[in-house]
Chain A
Amino acid sequence: MARRALSIIAALVVAGAVIVPVAAVLWRGGGITALSAADWAALRFTVWQAFWSAAISVVLAVPVARALARRAFWGRSALISIMGAPFILPVIVAILGLLAVFGGNGLLNLILGPLGVPKLDIYGAHGVILAHVFFNLPLAVRLILQGWLAIPSERFQVAASLGAPLFWLLEWPMLKRIVPGAFAVIFVICLGSFAVALTLGGGPRATTVELAIYQAFKFDFDLSKAASLAVVQLVLGGVAGLIALMLARGDMLGAGLDRVVQRWDGSRVIDAAWIAAAAAFLLFPLGAILVAGVPGLLDLPASIWPATLRSLAVAIAAVVLTIGLALPLATRAGEAASLLGISVSGLVLGTGLFLLVQPYVRPSDVALPVTLLVNVLMSLPFVLRILRPGIEGAREDFGRLGQSLGLRGWALWRIVYLPRLRRPMGFAAGLTGALAMGDLGVITLFSRPGEGTLPLVMYQLMGAYQMEAAYSAALVLVVLSLGLFWVFDKGGRVHADV
């Protein structure tokens, strides 16, 4: 009974933390009649860029996933692991890496310029899509690779011995099942894009709704306009999120991708080319951060270090709060409540919280707590996805044994469930910590100069064209983000007897 009550309280807290700010936004928005031409343009661009980002990611992912599914080579499992990294890579770091490769003074222009190729420009709509493909191509590859590896190898053997067309017999049905879900998930992720649009987009032709909310807020201080746009984003994200939820299959963070299906078709050379291209697209920007960041590490501006501490504090608090909320919420109803958070964007929540606290305190005084809260709400759905199977497995395997020994309540959790959950909890904590560490979202709305988090300071350095310092800050940020993930994930694995 006590556990049930705790679950209900946690679900109410989460639902309230999402619904109250949204209600505040709706109340101040006063309907969506007030949309200007620019707002409509932002809405169109948001849907357009999300569509193309998802389409390009998925279309390119198919040959890459197929190549990975049927070729064994040195570094294959490392490459697949690295393809999981963009999920926890701070957006701003990746953007800086992309600038280093595709930017005006980037690697590509350096090589292609002397050959007479016109200068590439990464800023604008195509830059936004490029960055989204960078983040989501690996995700699409992993999702589709799961589909490929789920086809039993015996079927390939039967098909090969019959000389049957593999694609139409085995692969097309699988793709028809997996690809719409992968497309939908990426489409939803790109709909909520803020940091990418903030850095690479902007202007009348490359502003997303999220960015428009930020601009209405920050530059025009037009609260009712921000609120109207927040309602638009809410409806957009909610509808698309529901559709994605219905279509999505497979486990976004899935493991067990190190199997290779033995096959007797396809060109080795073409497969190698796809794999090499995907790896280069992924690794060059990351490598560029390393190369450009190391020299400046010793004379980083002093403002970096307090910002680093603030980011670490937010990240660790987010881990504690998220896991603390997730354990009582790990039921079907709890997961549904937490999904509210994913359909609402961070900036909408931020706008709502701003409207709520504004009469009482200066919003900049609560910039960090608000950032923390938004991060917790955004991480919860992922964390529950990870923890629920573990809790259900532990209940299935040891629930009756625990009952017959008279273990209940806290004793049951302490002796049975928590130890069984160490691995997924470590993984979930790592994910939450890394995401919070690298988050550049709601903090941009609230923060006072000199009180930002590390991603914000890095963004400000970029804005001030202090690129060397920005590269070094990026290096610090990425090391800390991936480091947090590693420490928590490792902590869950050490001495975990399975």
Chain B
Amino acid sequence: MLTFEGVVYSQGAFSLAADLSVAAGKVTAVIGPSGAGKSTLLHGVAGFVPQTAGRLLWDGAAIGAKTPDRRPVSMLFQDNNLFPHLTVLQNVGLALTTGLRPSKDVTERVEDMLAQVGLSGLSTRKPAGLSGGQQSRVALVRALLQDRPVMLMDEPFSALGPALKDEMLDLSVSLAAGRTVIMVTHDPNDAVRIADEVVGVVDGKAWVPLETSAFMAQPPEPMKNYFGS
């Protein structure tokens, strides 16, 4: 369980408050209007935005002071998920090693995972030689190979067309089964499609998660504007 005990993340003049728990092993969507603080919440968990109050706990242990790579999280960013100057193999290999010449063992594991998402034979290409959907798969493979219990997704598929986006969401959830997935989205349909629970974020405050159907039926009061009801 990921627990926010009176946590405040501050970025310049903006701050986001969260006092809630996210269930382990489930998919949680973070929904809210632009500028409400969805990304701040996610980047705070990942360790990129300074935490100015409270405690962040994973399975009871405080992780708020750890550097990004020591936290139990992997992250898919909105863009720039892949280094354009590195091959697919090197990009994914960085999940397992900090070298650019992955060992045989690492190469095999990377190729295995690539095959699972239908990217066999593409490991020597650079990102520019891949389609948008293929690039997303490579980034997903790397996040999975980092093998962290929490996977954070900051609208990584928002540049894809609707059908491809749905396909990628389904693929992510099925491959990440058993992990805790927290996904930012501005599209309620994404939440309905894959999320077990929903955290609403409005005006710098994250609300306690509700089960998706319950959330959709009756969103928290300040979010009603956002849904237009």
Closest to A422 in B: B85
In this complex, how many residues of chain B approach chain A with their Cβ under 8 Å: the count is 26
Query: Judging by beta carbons under 8 Å apart, are B48 and A398 in contact?
Result: no
**Interchain pairs with CB closer than 8 A, number:** 54
- Which of A35-43, A217-225, A364-372, A402-410 has 4 or more CB atoms under 8 Å from chain B? A402-410
Query: Judging by beta carbons under 8 Å apart, are B95 and A405 in contact?
Result: yes
- Which of B17-25, B66-74, B107-115, B214-222 has 4 or more CB atoms under 8 Å from chain A? B66-74
What's the nearest-Cβ distance from chain A to residue B47, in Å? 8
Residues of chain B with a CB closer than 8 A to A405's CB: 69, 94-95, 98, 146
The A396-451 residues at the B interface (CB cut-off 8 A) are 397-398, 400-401, 403-407, 411, 414-416, 419-420, 422
Query: Judging by beta carbons under 8 Å apart, are B98 and A404 in contact?
Result: no
Residues of chain B with a CB closer than 8 A to A464's CB: none
Residues of chain B with a CB closer than 8 A to A419's CB: 83, 85-86
The A252-295 residues at the B interface (CB cut-off 8 A) are none
The B31-75 residues at the A interface (CB cut-off 8 A) are 43, 46-48, 67-70, 73-75
Query: Judging by beta carbons under 8 Å apart, are A400 and B85 in contact?
Result: no
Q: How many angstroms from the CA of A207 to the CA of B75 in the assembled complex?
A: 65
Query: Judging by beta carbons under 8 Å apart, are A415 and B86 in contact?
Result: yes
A299 within 8 A of B: no
What's the nearest-Cβ distance from chain A to residue B194, in Å? 22
Q: How many angstroms from the CA of A457 to the CA of B42 in the assembled complex?
A: 65
Closest to B129 in A: A497
Among B77, B100, B127, contact of A401 (Cβ-Cβ < 8 Å): B77
Query: Judging by beta carbons under 8 Å apart, are B83 and A400 in contact?
Result: no
In this complex, how many residues of chain A approach chain B with their Cβ under 8 Å: the count is 19
A496 within 8 A of B: yes
Among B75, B83, B86, B126, contact of A404 (Cβ-Cβ < 8 Å): B75
Residues of chain B with a CB closer than 8 A to A496's CB: 85
B134 within 8 A of A: no
Query: Judging by beta carbons under 8 Å apart, are B48 and A406 in contact?
Result: no
Q: A397-B80, A415-B94, A415-B100 are contacts. A404–B68 as well, Cβ < 8 Å?
A: yes
Query: Judging by beta carbons under 8 Å apart, are A498 and B98 in contact?
Result: no
Query: Judging by beta carbons under 8 Å apart, are A497 and B46 in contact?
Result: no
Query: Judging by beta carbons under 8 Å apart, are A420 and B68 in contact?
Result: no
Residues of chain B with a CB closer than 8 A to A498's CB: 84
Most buried by B among A397, A405, A416, A496: A405
Query: Judging by beta carbons under 8 Å apart, are B48 and A403 in contact?
Result: yes
- Which A residues lie at the B interface, using CB under 8 A? 397-398, 400-401, 403-407, 411, 414-416, 419-420, 422, 496-498
What's the nearest-Cβ distance from chain A to residue B93, in Å? 10
Q: How many angstroms from the CA of A404 to the CA of B139 in the assembled complex?
A: 13
Query: Judging by beta carbons under 8 Å apart, are B100 and A404 in contact?
Result: no
Residues of chain A with a CB closer than 8 A to B81's CB: 401
Among A401, A403, A406, A497, contact of B98 (Cβ-Cβ < 8 Å): A406
Q: List 23 A-B contacts (CB under 8 A).
A: A400-B46, A400-B68, A400-B75, A401-B83, A403-B67, A404-B68, A404-B69, A404-B73, A404-B75, A405-B69, A405-B95, A405-B146, A406-B70, A406-B98, A414-B100, A415-B83, A415-B86, A415-B94, A416-B83, A419-B83, A497-B85, A497-B126, A497-B128
Closest to A411 in B: B98
Residues of chain B with a CB closer than 8 A to A400's CB: 43, 46, 48, 68, 75, 77
What's the nearest-Cβ distance from chain A to residue B94, in Å? 5
Q: How many angstroms from the CA of A411 to the CA of B97 in the assembled complex?
A: 11
Query: Judging by beta carbons under 8 Å apart, are A497 and B94 in contact?
Result: no
Residues of chain B with a CB closer than 8 A to A411's CB: 98
Residues of chain B with a CB closer than 8 A to A415's CB: 83, 86, 94, 98, 100
Query: Judging by beta carbons under 8 Å apart, are B74 and A404 in contact?
Result: yes
